[in-house]
Amino acid sequence: MKRTKYPIHPDFKKWEHVNPPLNRAFLPVMQKLMGTLFVKEKSSDIINVSRFKIDTSDGSRIRALLFTPAKITTPAPCLIYYHGGGFVLPAAPHHFSLAREYALKALCMVLFVDYRLAPKFAFPIAPEDCFDAYQWVLNQAEELEIDPSLVAVGGDSAGGELATVVCLMARNRGVRIPCAQMLIYPVTTRGLETESMKKYIDTPMCNNKDMKKYARFYIQDENAGKREYMFPMEAVSLDDLPPAYIETAEFDCLRDGGIQYAERLKQFNVSVELHNTVGTIHGFDIERSSSIVRECVERRVAFLRKAFRQTEF
């Protein structure tokens, strides 16, 4: 495929011809292979890794990892993290590495949720799994030594959408709302009418064509659940949602959707910290040594520490 030459920052050039293989027949193989990464996460001298099985509302069970820094004061704050992957791909190695970094630098626990994936488990399974994991943390807070008033949600791409949808579900269902939401290049709308969605049909990592495939895998029944749990931009109200950190990538079809969601949150008096990164592509924090990624991670950590009411760095 002939691609448009975008002025991508040199740090991310090696990814400029990469897009996930989104073949329905091959996806189960990808899911099985990548799913093994979950069991390879081990404890170290500086961080403990605990494994849990969480009961879901439909009678199933999902896996979760809890990253706990060795030097942490309890009851501790907690970030519940939902990884990206278009609702069809398991977590990649950089997701686990970032979870560890958030735990160590934000001095919090991080619950890493292995929600079920499409196309076998289509909408609304993923958001319900993610909400069940959130409720599990609240219900087990005392046993886990977590402060239930300091539980934030976060995620990248599809996981960013799931994080803000959990906030909507909590509000709508009368459950304690997360103290913050951290959304990294999130999916917010199905709409193909934004400038970035129209323009970026051949960008690396994710583009308009990829999004159409993800949507076909994920949304198999338009009436299976609330529209706002599919795409949060479609919520009638964003009242009472927690403070948000939103980060977008320049050469990403999801860019304008993230910006529009930030503006809509502001219309409902939700505090929003928006960062539009330059020279970046979707999933750019896979390149963890990049100075751009380092700067972004430090901003994310600062946001979390503020949400967790931590004043000493």
Please tell me the distance from the alpha carbon of residue 190 to that of residue 211, in angstroms, as a whole number. 8
Contact call for residues 62 and 115 (beta carbons, < 8 A): yes
What one-character-per-residue DSSP string does 139-190 give?
HTHHHHTEEEEEEEEEEETHHHHHHHHHHHHHHHTT-PPPS-EEEES-----
**Angle, CA of 204, 210 and 215, to the nearest 5°:** 150
pLDDT, mean of residues 210-238: 95
- pLDDT reading at 183 higher than 60: yes
3-state secondary structure of 273: strand
Per the confidence metrics, is the pTM higher than 0.85? yes
Assigned CATH topology for domain 10-304? Rossmann fold (3.40.50)
pLDDT band at 313 (very low <50, low <70, confident <90, very high): very low
Question: Which residues are tagged catalytic?
Answer: 157, 252, 282
Angle at the Cα of 178 from the Cα atoms of 94 and 51, rounded to 5 degrees: 45
Over residues 252-275, the mean pLDDT reads 98
Residue 204 pLDDT > 70: yes
Angstrom CA distances, 190 to 89, 241, 295, stand at 19, 21, 29
Q: What is the mean pLDDT of residues 141-164?
A: 98
- Above pLDDT 70, what percent of the chain? 98
The model's pLDDT over 57-91, given as tens digits with 9 standing for 90+, comes to 999 999 999 999 999 999 999 999 999 999 999 99
